[in-house]
Amino acid sequence: MKYGQFLAALRKNGVKHVYLLSGEEQYYIRKAEKALLNVLVPEEAARTECVQIFDGDPAVEDLVGLIDTIPFFAEKTVLLIRGTQLFREKKADKEETAEEKKSRSRKKTDPLERLMERIASMPDASYVIFETASKADKRRKLYKLVEQSGAVLEAERERAWTVDEWLRGKLAEIHRELDREALAYFMNAVSMMQPIELEFLDEELNKLALSTENRVFTKKDISRVFASVPEVSGFAMLDAVSARDVKKAMIILERQISEGTYLPILLSGLARHVRQLWQAKDLMARGVRGRALGQPMNLNPYIAEKLGQAAKSFDNALLKDTFLFLCDADYKLKTGQGGEELLEEAVIALCSKK
């Protein structure tokens, strides 16, 4: 289940005896871990006695023993296993021969089988939280058992087209709102972050909430959040390019260069923008319109619709030629064969109206 569903289930159904927190988005794993510990051991001072933390898997036999151990100085035992490898895909499992399977089946005591038996009938005072930064293999028996007996969090990285839910939740948490311009700016800026760093956004919105008593954040407020993000530094220039406003685009470009923004970053952002305009034109030629552009372009629907509107004023040949020019310019920049004039040439070409 996703993070929102995970928290809802925790509030509605109470705590389970076994959990698996898996996926690349460590922000959600840390938040889920904190939520679980707050329910299991509300008093932080008591966690020293109750919670045992492991970096990596203990021996399976030891883990079974720890689950069975009756706590003497605490009401419960919580085993937090970070970086578990028990749920990863094992290629060796696929390559196991029939003879090896037969030999394994003869073994009377398989530690992993004992662990699964114990997870299926956990002692009342024992709890296990497995954590892994990789995607768990859902085909494994252990995964299916944890899913059946406890709960599994799938902490996938947010994308520009899925970050809305996170933003709504965060704004509710800090009791703030975004006005229309601020929301548009946020979505545009996030679409340029590769990848989207939820930890960073979370901290910056917290700081913003502390720095102003205004309930509604403005575009000016939100622009402060992204001030230190290099990928977003050329955002205003790309808006000017979309509007084919050569004067404004050149002024912003010159300011970015004078402030020391790394040229390849500016070029990369411009190339990505040109590619998206080109992709939007291609999709619209095939009948995809408005917010429906979001899914095939892997963008927030609002941003995709805006790109589609901008793309209408560009010629396919111009976008193709400029994209190829920027690919060549990237090589020249990195090999010292060119400088800022390459970016200026591309911006002028894009903004010129024939």
Confidence band of 255 (pLDDT split at 50, 70, 90)? confident
pLDDT of residue 111: 84
- Of the chain, the percentage scoring pLDDT greater than 90 comes to 61
CA distances from 8 to 32, 102, 295 (A): 11, 44, 27
Place of tokens 């927190």: 21
CA atoms of 228 and 223, how far apart (whole Å): 10
Amino acid identity of 294?
G
Of the two residues 279 and 44, the one the predictor is more confident about is: 279
CA atoms of 21 and 18, how far apart (whole Å): 10
Contact by Cβ (8 Å): 325, 216 = no
- Kindly list the structural domains of the chain, giving each domain's residue range(s) and its CATH number in brackets, ordered by start: 3-154 (3.40.50.300), 164-351 (1.20.272.10)
pTM of the model: 0.71
Tokens of 198: 């939820």
- Range of lowest pLDDT (83-92, 98-107, 109-118, 184-193): 98-107
Query: Nearest Cα to 273, choosing from 301, 236, 246?
Result: 236
Rg (CA), the chain: 26
- Of the chain, the percentage scoring pLDDT greater than 70 comes to 92
Amino acid identity of 202?
D
Of the two residues 71 and 112, the one the predictor is more confident about is: 112
